[in-house]
Amino acid sequence: AGIFSEWVFGILAFTGFFSLAMFFSNQRIRSRLIGISRESDELKQLNMRLQSEVEQRKQAQESLAYAEQTLEQSSKLAALGQMSAAVAHELNQPLAAMKTYMAGANMLMERHRTEEAKTAFSRLDGLIDRMTTITKQLKSYAGKGADALEPVDVKQALSSAFSLVAQDYRSHSISYKEVFDSGDVLVLADRVRLEQVFINLLRNARDAVQGVAFPQVTVVIESYSTVHIKFQDNGHGIDDFENLFEPFYTTKRPGDGIGLGLAISSGIIADFNGRLIAQNLSHGGAEFDVQLPYSPKS
Ligand code: ADP
Protein backbone atom coordinates (compact mmCIF):
# COMPACT_ATOMS: atom_id res chain seq x y z
CA ALA A 1 0.00 0.00 0.00
CA GLY A 2 2.97 2.27 0.75
CA ILE A 3 4.36 1.75 -2.66
CA PHE A 4 0.93 2.28 -4.19
CA SER A 5 0.37 5.60 -2.38
CA GLU A 6 3.84 6.70 -3.40
CA TRP A 7 2.92 5.94 -7.04
CA VAL A 8 -0.32 7.84 -6.76
CA PHE A 9 1.42 10.77 -5.18
CA GLY A 10 4.10 10.65 -7.86
CA ILE A 11 1.57 10.61 -10.64
CA LEU A 12 -0.44 13.39 -9.05
CA ALA A 13 2.66 15.48 -8.51
CA PHE A 14 3.76 14.91 -12.07
CA THR A 15 0.32 15.76 -13.48
CA GLY A 16 0.14 18.83 -11.29
CA PHE A 17 3.60 19.91 -12.34
CA PHE A 18 2.81 19.20 -15.99
CA SER A 19 -0.47 21.17 -15.88
CA LEU A 20 1.31 24.02 -14.19
CA ALA A 21 4.01 23.95 -16.84
CA MET A 22 1.37 23.83 -19.56
CA PHE A 23 -0.47 26.73 -17.95
CA PHE A 24 2.60 28.91 -17.85
CA SER A 25 3.68 28.01 -21.33
CA ASN A 26 0.14 28.70 -22.62
CA GLN A 27 0.25 31.99 -20.85
CA ARG A 28 3.56 32.78 -22.56
CA ILE A 29 2.25 31.77 -25.95
CA ARG A 30 -0.89 33.80 -25.40
CA SER A 31 1.02 36.88 -24.38
CA ARG A 32 3.33 36.41 -27.33
CA LEU A 33 0.30 36.00 -29.58
CA ILE A 34 -1.15 39.19 -28.15
CA GLY A 35 2.19 40.87 -28.79
CA ILE A 36 2.27 39.58 -32.36
CA SER A 37 -1.29 40.68 -33.06
CA ARG A 38 -0.48 44.09 -31.61
CA GLU A 39 2.57 44.27 -33.82
CA SER A 40 0.58 43.26 -36.85
CA ASP A 41 -2.02 45.88 -35.98
CA GLU A 42 0.72 48.47 -35.86
CA LEU A 43 2.08 47.19 -39.15
CA LYS A 44 -1.37 47.40 -40.67
CA GLN A 45 -1.70 50.98 -39.50
CA LEU A 46 1.72 51.85 -40.80
CA ASN A 47 0.80 50.25 -44.10
CA MET A 48 -2.37 52.26 -44.28
CA ARG A 49 -0.50 55.46 -43.47
CA LEU A 50 2.06 54.68 -46.16
CA GLN A 51 -0.68 53.91 -48.62
CA SER A 52 -2.45 57.17 -47.96
CA GLU A 53 0.85 59.01 -48.27
CA VAL A 54 1.51 57.31 -51.61
CA GLU A 55 -1.99 58.26 -52.64
CA GLN A 56 -1.41 61.88 -51.64
CA ARG A 57 1.89 61.97 -53.53
CA LYS A 58 0.18 60.55 -56.60
CA GLN A 59 -2.51 63.18 -56.40
CA ALA A 60 0.05 65.94 -55.94
CA GLN A 61 1.97 64.65 -58.93
CA GLU A 62 -1.17 64.45 -61.01
CA SER A 63 -2.18 67.99 -60.15
CA LEU A 64 1.37 69.16 -60.89
CA ALA A 65 1.30 67.45 -64.29
CA TYR A 66 -2.11 68.99 -64.88
CA ALA A 67 -0.83 72.45 -63.91
CA GLU A 68 2.20 72.02 -66.18
CA GLN A 69 -0.01 70.95 -69.04
CA THR A 70 -2.34 73.87 -68.54
CA LEU A 71 0.61 76.25 -68.44
CA GLU A 72 2.09 74.72 -71.58
CA GLN A 73 -1.26 74.93 -73.31
CA SER A 74 -1.87 78.50 -72.29
CA SER A 75 1.61 79.59 -73.41
CA LYS A 76 1.04 77.72 -76.66
CA LEU A 77 -2.29 79.49 -77.02
CA ALA A 78 -0.62 82.82 -76.30
CA ALA A 79 2.04 82.09 -78.94
CA LEU A 80 -0.67 80.99 -81.35
CA GLY A 81 -2.59 84.21 -80.72
CA GLN A 82 0.53 86.31 -81.26
CA MET A 83 1.36 84.36 -84.38
CA SER A 84 -2.18 84.64 -85.80
CA ALA A 85 -2.19 88.39 -85.21
CA ALA A 86 1.17 88.82 -86.95
CA VAL A 87 0.26 86.56 -89.86
CA ALA A 88 -3.15 88.17 -90.29
CA HIS A 89 -1.50 91.58 -90.28
CA GLU A 90 1.17 90.53 -92.78
CA LEU A 91 -1.34 88.97 -95.16
CA ASN A 92 -4.09 91.56 -94.77
CA GLN A 93 -1.85 94.35 -95.84
CA PRO A 94 -1.00 92.97 -99.32
CA LEU A 95 -4.59 91.73 -99.66
CA ALA A 96 -5.95 95.26 -99.12
CA ALA A 97 -3.42 96.64 -101.61
CA MET A 98 -4.38 93.92 -104.12
CA LYS A 99 -8.03 94.92 -103.89
CA THR A 100 -7.14 98.53 -104.66
CA TYR A 101 -4.93 97.57 -107.61
CA MET A 102 -7.62 95.22 -108.92
CA ALA A 103 -10.23 97.98 -108.85
CA GLY A 104 -7.74 100.34 -110.53
CA ALA A 105 -6.82 97.78 -113.22
CA ASN A 106 -10.51 97.12 -113.90
CA MET A 107 -11.21 100.79 -114.35
CA LEU A 108 -8.17 101.22 -116.63
CA MET A 109 -9.25 98.25 -118.77
CA GLU A 110 -12.74 99.72 -119.16
CA ARG A 111 -11.14 102.93 -120.40
CA HIS A 112 -8.78 100.96 -122.69
CA ARG A 113 -5.68 102.29 -120.95
CA THR A 114 -3.96 98.92 -121.28
CA GLU A 115 -0.38 100.04 -120.56
CA GLU A 116 -1.33 101.48 -117.20
CA ALA A 117 -3.46 98.42 -116.50
CA LYS A 118 -0.38 96.27 -117.14
CA THR A 119 1.55 98.23 -114.50
CA ALA A 120 -1.25 97.59 -112.03
CA PHE A 121 -1.13 93.89 -112.86
CA SER A 122 2.62 93.68 -112.34
CA ARG A 123 2.14 95.33 -108.94
CA LEU A 124 -0.44 92.68 -108.19
CA ASP A 125 2.09 90.06 -109.17
CA GLY A 126 4.63 91.56 -106.74
CA LEU A 127 2.11 91.42 -103.92
CA ILE A 128 1.32 87.80 -104.67
CA ASP A 129 5.08 87.07 -104.50
CA ARG A 130 5.28 88.77 -101.13
CA MET A 131 2.44 86.68 -99.79
CA THR A 132 4.09 83.55 -101.13
CA THR A 133 7.33 84.48 -99.35
CA ILE A 134 5.47 84.90 -96.08
CA THR A 135 3.65 81.58 -96.33
CA LYS A 136 6.90 79.85 -97.37
CA GLN A 137 8.67 81.23 -94.32
CA LEU A 138 5.86 80.06 -92.09
CA LYS A 139 5.94 76.61 -93.66
CA SER A 140 9.67 76.29 -93.09
CA TYR A 141 9.07 77.21 -89.46
CA ALA A 142 6.48 74.48 -89.10
CA GLY A 143 8.40 71.74 -90.89
CA LYS A 144 11.68 71.65 -89.07
CA GLY A 145 13.41 68.73 -87.52
CA ALA A 146 13.17 65.36 -89.15
CA ASP A 147 15.71 65.52 -92.01
CA ALA A 148 18.72 63.24 -91.96
CA LEU A 149 21.98 65.21 -91.96
CA GLU A 150 24.60 64.62 -94.63
CA PRO A 151 27.90 66.23 -95.58
CA VAL A 152 27.17 69.50 -97.41
CA ASP A 153 29.72 71.56 -99.33
CA VAL A 154 29.53 75.00 -97.70
CA LYS A 155 31.01 76.92 -100.64
CA GLN A 156 28.55 75.36 -103.08
CA ALA A 157 25.62 76.04 -100.75
CA LEU A 158 26.73 79.66 -100.38
CA SER A 159 27.11 80.19 -104.10
CA SER A 160 23.68 78.76 -104.87
CA ALA A 161 22.16 80.89 -102.08
CA PHE A 162 23.87 84.01 -103.44
CA SER A 163 22.63 83.29 -106.97
CA LEU A 164 19.09 83.85 -105.65
CA VAL A 165 19.88 87.32 -104.30
CA ALA A 166 22.56 88.37 -106.83
CA GLN A 167 20.13 90.35 -108.97
CA ASP A 168 18.86 92.14 -105.92
CA TYR A 169 22.43 92.97 -104.78
CA ARG A 170 23.28 94.33 -108.22
CA SER A 171 20.21 96.53 -108.38
CA HIS A 172 21.12 97.97 -104.95
CA SER A 173 24.80 98.44 -106.04
CA ILE A 174 26.00 96.33 -103.12
CA SER A 175 29.56 95.09 -103.47
CA TYR A 176 29.74 91.41 -102.54
CA LYS A 177 32.87 89.43 -101.63
CA GLU A 178 33.59 85.88 -100.53
CA VAL A 179 36.80 85.17 -98.60
CA PHE A 180 38.07 81.62 -98.03
CA ASP A 181 41.04 79.28 -98.47
CA SER A 182 41.08 76.67 -101.22
CA GLY A 183 39.76 73.18 -100.52
CA ASP A 184 36.38 71.74 -99.70
CA VAL A 185 34.60 72.74 -96.52
CA LEU A 186 32.04 70.20 -95.42
CA VAL A 187 29.48 70.35 -92.63
CA LEU A 188 26.78 67.91 -91.54
CA ALA A 189 23.51 69.56 -92.57
CA ASP A 190 20.51 69.51 -94.85
CA ARG A 191 21.51 71.43 -97.95
CA VAL A 192 18.18 73.12 -98.69
CA ARG A 193 17.74 74.40 -95.15
CA LEU A 194 21.36 75.53 -94.90
CA GLU A 195 20.86 77.54 -98.10
CA GLN A 196 17.69 78.98 -96.61
CA VAL A 197 19.73 80.28 -93.65
CA PHE A 198 22.33 81.79 -96.00
CA ILE A 199 19.59 83.49 -98.05
CA ASN A 200 18.04 84.92 -94.87
CA LEU A 201 21.39 86.32 -93.73
CA LEU A 202 22.21 87.72 -97.18
CA ARG A 203 18.79 89.42 -97.35
CA ASN A 204 19.18 90.86 -93.85
CA ALA A 205 22.63 92.18 -94.79
CA ARG A 206 21.12 93.75 -97.92
CA ASP A 207 18.45 95.47 -95.82
CA ALA A 208 21.03 96.63 -93.25
CA VAL A 209 23.20 98.42 -95.84
CA GLN A 210 20.31 100.41 -97.33
CA GLY A 211 21.25 104.07 -97.41
CA VAL A 212 24.97 103.45 -96.75
CA ALA A 213 27.33 105.29 -99.12
CA PHE A 214 29.37 102.24 -100.20
CA PRO A 215 27.31 99.23 -99.27
CA GLN A 216 29.40 96.12 -98.76
CA VAL A 217 28.66 92.55 -97.78
CA THR A 218 31.44 90.01 -97.21
CA VAL A 219 31.17 86.33 -96.38
CA VAL A 220 34.23 84.83 -94.70
CA ILE A 221 34.56 81.06 -94.40
CA GLU A 222 37.02 79.69 -91.84
CA SER A 223 37.46 76.00 -91.38
CA TYR A 224 38.85 74.52 -88.15
CA SER A 225 37.23 71.80 -86.05
CA THR A 226 34.33 74.24 -86.16
CA VAL A 227 33.44 75.83 -89.47
CA HIS A 228 32.63 79.55 -89.32
CA ILE A 229 30.60 81.19 -92.06
CA LYS A 230 30.62 84.91 -91.21
CA PHE A 231 28.19 87.28 -92.92
CA GLN A 232 29.61 90.78 -92.46
CA ASP A 233 28.05 94.04 -93.60
CA ASN A 234 28.82 97.71 -93.22
CA GLY A 235 25.25 98.65 -92.38
CA HIS A 236 23.60 100.27 -89.36
CA GLY A 237 24.53 97.49 -86.93
CA ILE A 238 22.35 95.68 -84.40
CA ASP A 239 20.39 97.71 -81.81
CA ASP A 240 18.69 95.10 -79.68
CA PHE A 241 20.65 91.89 -79.07
CA GLU A 242 18.16 90.66 -76.50
CA ASN A 243 15.27 90.30 -78.94
CA LEU A 244 17.24 89.69 -82.12
CA PHE A 245 16.40 85.97 -82.37
CA GLU A 246 12.87 86.26 -80.98
CA PRO A 247 10.08 85.31 -83.38
CA PHE A 248 8.27 88.42 -84.70
CA TYR A 249 10.99 90.82 -83.60
CA THR A 250 11.53 93.19 -86.50
CA THR A 251 12.64 96.77 -86.95
CA LYS A 252 11.48 96.78 -90.57
CA ARG A 253 8.34 98.42 -91.84
CA PRO A 254 5.20 96.28 -92.01
CA GLY A 255 5.39 94.44 -95.30
CA ASP A 256 9.20 94.54 -95.39
CA GLY A 257 9.79 92.10 -92.59
CA ILE A 258 7.83 89.77 -90.39
CA GLY A 259 10.60 88.98 -87.90
CA LEU A 260 10.83 85.25 -88.46
CA GLY A 261 14.09 85.05 -90.46
CA LEU A 262 16.56 84.92 -87.56
CA ALA A 263 14.31 82.81 -85.33
CA ILE A 264 13.99 80.25 -88.11
CA SER A 265 17.68 80.43 -89.03
CA SER A 266 18.96 79.91 -85.50
CA GLY A 267 16.51 77.01 -85.10
CA ILE A 268 17.82 75.38 -88.27
CA ILE A 269 21.49 75.83 -87.25
CA ALA A 270 20.70 74.38 -83.80
CA ASP A 271 19.18 71.35 -85.58
CA PHE A 272 22.57 70.91 -87.29
CA ASN A 273 24.27 70.99 -83.85
CA GLY A 274 25.68 74.44 -84.49
CA ARG A 275 25.19 78.01 -83.29
CA LEU A 276 24.31 81.34 -84.86
CA ILE A 277 26.09 84.24 -83.13
CA ALA A 278 25.56 87.94 -83.82
CA GLN A 279 27.84 90.85 -83.01
CA ASN A 280 28.55 94.38 -84.13
CA LEU A 281 31.88 94.94 -85.85
CA SER A 282 34.31 97.45 -84.34
CA HIS A 283 34.46 99.44 -87.58
CA GLY A 284 30.66 99.50 -87.90
CA GLY A 285 28.12 97.08 -89.31
CA ALA A 286 27.07 93.65 -88.10
CA GLU A 287 28.37 90.11 -88.32
CA PHE A 288 26.34 86.91 -88.17
CA ASP A 289 28.58 83.93 -87.56
CA VAL A 290 27.16 80.52 -88.51
CA GLN A 291 29.16 77.93 -86.55
CA LEU A 292 28.90 74.28 -87.50
CA PRO A 293 30.96 71.21 -86.59
CA TYR A 294 33.39 70.32 -89.38
CA SER A 295 32.42 67.11 -91.16
CA PRO A 296 35.27 64.97 -92.51
CA LYS A 297 34.68 63.53 -95.98
CA SER A 298 32.82 60.25 -95.63
P1 ADP B 1 13.03 90.48 -90.48
O2 ADP B 1 14.16 90.49 -91.47
O3 ADP B 1 11.74 90.04 -91.08
O4 ADP B 1 12.90 91.76 -89.71
P5 ADP B 1 14.72 88.75 -88.94
O6 ADP B 1 14.40 87.79 -87.85
O7 ADP B 1 15.51 88.23 -90.09
O8 ADP B 1 13.34 89.35 -89.40
O9 ADP B 1 15.51 89.99 -88.32
C10 ADP B 1 15.04 90.59 -87.16
C11 ADP B 1 15.68 91.95 -86.95
O12 ADP B 1 17.08 91.80 -86.67
C13 ADP B 1 15.64 92.87 -88.13
O14 ADP B 1 14.40 93.53 -88.25
C15 ADP B 1 16.79 93.83 -87.82
O16 ADP B 1 16.39 94.81 -86.91
C17 ADP B 1 17.79 92.93 -87.12
N18 ADP B 1 18.85 92.50 -88.05
C19 ADP B 1 18.91 91.37 -88.77
N20 ADP B 1 20.01 91.34 -89.53
C21 ADP B 1 20.69 92.49 -89.31
C22 ADP B 1 21.93 93.05 -89.79
N23 ADP B 1 22.68 92.42 -90.70
N24 ADP B 1 22.29 94.25 -89.31
C25 ADP B 1 21.53 94.92 -88.40
N26 ADP B 1 20.38 94.43 -87.91
C27 ADP B 1 19.95 93.24 -88.34
Residue 155 CA, chain-centre distance (Å), reads 28
Taking CA atoms only, the protein residue closest to ligand 1 atom 12 is 244
Q: In what order do the strands lie in the sheet with 175-179?
A: 175-179, 216-223, 226-233, 286-293, 275-280
Element housing 178 (H / E):
strand 175-179
Q: Give distance in angstroms: CA of 282 to centre of ligand 1.
A: 19
Which CA distances in Å does 66 have to 56, 57, 71, 200, 250? 15, 14, 9, 39, 35
- Taking alpha carbons only, the member of 243, 249, 239, 238 closest to residue 286 is 238
CB-count exposure of residue 148 (10 Å: 0-12, 13-18, 19+) = exposed
> What CA–CA distance (Å, rounded) separates 214 from 196?
26
pLDDT of residue 148: 79
Which CA distances in Å does 95 have to 88, 99, 126, 208? 10, 6, 12, 27
pLDDT of residue 85: 75
Closest atom, ligand 1, to C-alpha of 236: 25
- The pLDDT confidence band at residue 68, using thresholds 50, 70 and 90, is confident
- The pLDDT confidence band at residue 10, using thresholds 50, 70 and 90, is confident
Which three-class secondary structure state does DSSP give residue 94? helix
- Taking alpha carbons only, the member of 137, 220, 215, 234 closest to residue 169 is 215
Q: With helix as H, strand as E and coil as C, how does 45-76 read?
A: HHHHHHHHHHHHHHHHHHHHHHHHHHHHHHHH
**pLDDT tens string 120-158:** 999 899 888 878 877 877 776 665 555 678 999 999 999
> What CA–CA distance (Å, rounded) separates 261 from 270?
14
pLDDT of residue 272: 92
Q: Give distance in angstroms: CA of 244 to centre of ligand 1.
A: 7
Q: Give distance in angstroms: CA of 238 to centre of ligand 1.
A: 8
Which three-class secondary structure state does DSSP give residue 164? helix
Of 197, 204, 281, best ligand 1 pocket probe by most atoms within 8 Å of the beta carbon: 204
- The pLDDT confidence band at residue 246, using thresholds 50, 70 and 90, is confident
Judge whether residue 114 has pLDDT over 70: yes
Which protein residues touch ligand 1 with a CB less than 6 Å away? 200, 204-205, 208, 233, 235-238, 244, 249-252, 257-263, 286
Q: What is the pTM of this model?
A: 0.63
Q: Give distance in angstroms: CA of 208 to centre of ligand 1.
A: 8
Closest atom, ligand 1, to C-alpha of 285: 24
